[in-house]
Structure 1
Amino acid sequence: MIKTLTIDTKKRDEMIDITTYVQDIINEEMKEGIVVVQSLHTTAGITVNENADPDVKTDFLRRLDEVYPWEHTLDLHGEGNTAAHLKTSTVGHSQTIIVTNGGLQLGTWQGIYLCEFDGPRSGRRVSIKTIEAE
């Protein structure tokens, strides 16, 4: 089964921790297997990163801005958000996480994040697919 998480973002660039939501789905559906978490957007990605120190998110987004600066000129495709597309391609649109004994196999400081690169937006969708081990 595929579940969909819908999120309204508040900033142009932000990282929203969705770990608890994904774990809640695991709690309902399985003990062993994998879960795939996928953004349904070309300007919002999914990553696994540190969830203990909020400065990590700030540094992460700042460094991406250094590599892909937001330019206030129109791109050839007319939307002015090429930097957001590049950031999403760099971060990736999905993550696959192992589930063991009903828990996400994440390190002590790891969390799953929706990375917004072209916000604020309403109705960002993340698909979550559980695949139970046989």
Structure 2
Amino acid sequence: MIRQLSIRTNSQTEFIDITGKIQEIVGSSQISEGICCIYVPHTTAGITINENADPDVVKDIIKELNKIVPLTDSYLHREGNSAAHIKAGLMGTSLHVIVDQGRLLLGTWQGIYFCEFDGPRNRKVVVKMIEG
């Protein structure tokens, strides 16, 4: 089963907690045990698992990514979004989460974040459930 989420981002750089939406897909799949594969088909956006209890963690991650990869830095890419490409590469484009008893097997403080680095845009997240 493959499902697709549509996400509208509102800022140039933004982390959106999509854990609940992914869990809805897992629940509707009626797969009790398996793997949930989550894929972002974009070159300037990514995905990550991190703490979702304190919103300051996301703010800190964005702040530090902006230090490591500044928006402007004599990049050669003519589109002007090289920083977004680099940050997306650092985050990665896919995750695999174990599903147990119809639930994502995440740690107590973990959430799944869609990471926008070239927004605002309309984005997609592809989710595939694998039973097993």
TM-score band by shorter chain is over 0.9
1:1-134 mapped onto 2 (5 Å cutoff): 1-29=1-29, 30-71=31-72, 75-121=75-121, 123-133=122-132
Residues 66 and 72 of structure 1: CA distance in aligned 2, closer, same or farther (over 3 Å): closer
Distance 1:6 1:71 in 2: 29
Distance 1:77 1:117 in 2: 15
Length-normalised TM-score, structure 1:
0.94
For structure 2, list consecutive stretches of 5 or more residues without a partner in the other structure: none
Aligned length: 131
The CA deviation at 1:76 is: 2.8
For structure 1, list consecutive stretches of 5 or more residues without a partner in the other structure: none
| Root mean square deviation, CA, Å | 1.1
Length-normalised TM-score, structure 2:
0.96
Distance 1:62 1:88 in 2: 15
Identity, % of aligned pairs?
A: 52
Answer whether contact 1:72 1:80 (CA < 8 A) is retained. no
The CA deviation at 1:28 is: 1.0
The runs of at least 4 aligned residues of structure 1 exceeding 6 Å deviation read none
**Secondary structure at the residue paired with 1:37?**
strand
Answer whether contact 1:50 1:56 (CA < 8 A) is retained. yes
